[in-house]
A and B are shown apart, each in its own frame.
Chain A
């Protein structure tokens, strides 16, 4: 998602230019607060009912043994205990991180190179953007089916290998084949999206920086890594954070890719494509262990929270001298520099 989270919730623009008008013109009395409060209320009501309540309720559920039909049975922390001992769960955690790493690192690198290339291009930029963004628009289910046929034993990928005299690869029947297939699908889907975001960041870099690099005799690669990457750091980190959040929730690829295998619940041979969310779905909605599914949801939340905090720390750590920690601070400074 193309947004940057601001932990303080206070944008720079507002601080620099306090909202005089609303203070001076607002009529007296508490009643004037009613319309804006009313205006923001739909989100909070919906969140209370469909966001906050389920989260709290899932805590309650995680202490129960319940198949959704019969009686609930209170089991205390047993679900969590089982979860910690569940080798499939930890396998799914490992898979998720492996797939996340295999997809995110090449994806961000390719996106950066692509943005750099697009930036140096004058003609057809609009057409390029559309072409590169389309993978992100299409249904993951449909495209997973297509990729599934490409990666099949007798599919296009192996036919291509055969044509150049190589042996076929067990794309969907070996540990790294499965992880690579899933990662390739994610890369294909997200390179263009991130490239366009990087491109926007690139275009915000003042041209003098490029000129200075050129005067110093830097070649293209040096320009990329000495000028572009440092300048784009906030945008890259933003992309890294969103890819992390998305990457830890991989589901569709693994489920649809191995749909013929017990209706997509296994994650393929050796469960090498089993992700955390796929396992949660399998336990909750295939085996109907609602308590177990709820406990797993909480563990997933804890993992994502830890990662988000690490991410924030990483950014703010190098940013303390500026007095405004956080990614948003970084981005805001850049925005201010651009005169926005």
Chain B
């Protein structure tokens, strides 16, 4: 790789590099376990929201049951840890296979029903697993959840976990970006825009939807697994509709159909809920109002609104123009 290409790479990814760099340096500047924990949950939920955006923003599938993948990852690790002595590598491998099977089931439904019907079917599937977890309480602990989730030794240290979660998010981001910009990703966007036309053009829509759902499922279930390793308990709320609504909001608030939108959406939602919940008991109402305002006035989300914002900045000239040029996708 020659110097010119390296420079080009740096230029194209300047925000990504600055942000990741800041996140890497951060714990060495101020090591506060409280903030590290908050950031770890943000990283995990950002990856989860990213996987949701692959479906909603890039394939055009409205899923109301994405928490199923998250909860499945969480409970798989907890159950494997309690009843088997598998290595972590094989746990995640089995988890990926399970996510693929669920994705296959969802794809079969997605081929038969669309729009709100698909949303309802995915919601129903997630509720079904929620019921399953609640009723098999002998194994899953029911409402009490499953404490003492295993984690690899090197993740016992919070700083290590921080870098692990950050690495996971960066990896997910890069994979998603490669995926979206690949020919396969382009076909998915075509399906989002006009499915009939893609069928007419001779694309096997089933295969592409399956691919997208499987990738989203694997990312979603892995983030669930990592989250549960961090908080050390798997509980039914990870599977329920509220978790799906949370991830839906992260995606919408940040900007649906962009890859960085869900990441910042996740950060914003987690931070807001964190600070609002310590000041107001009914903080969800404030959050709900913010969410409604965004849906009404910024339907493309905060980051989907950036092109308009950067055009506005560009007119100001000077250093604002410099920022505006770098904001362009």
A binds B: no
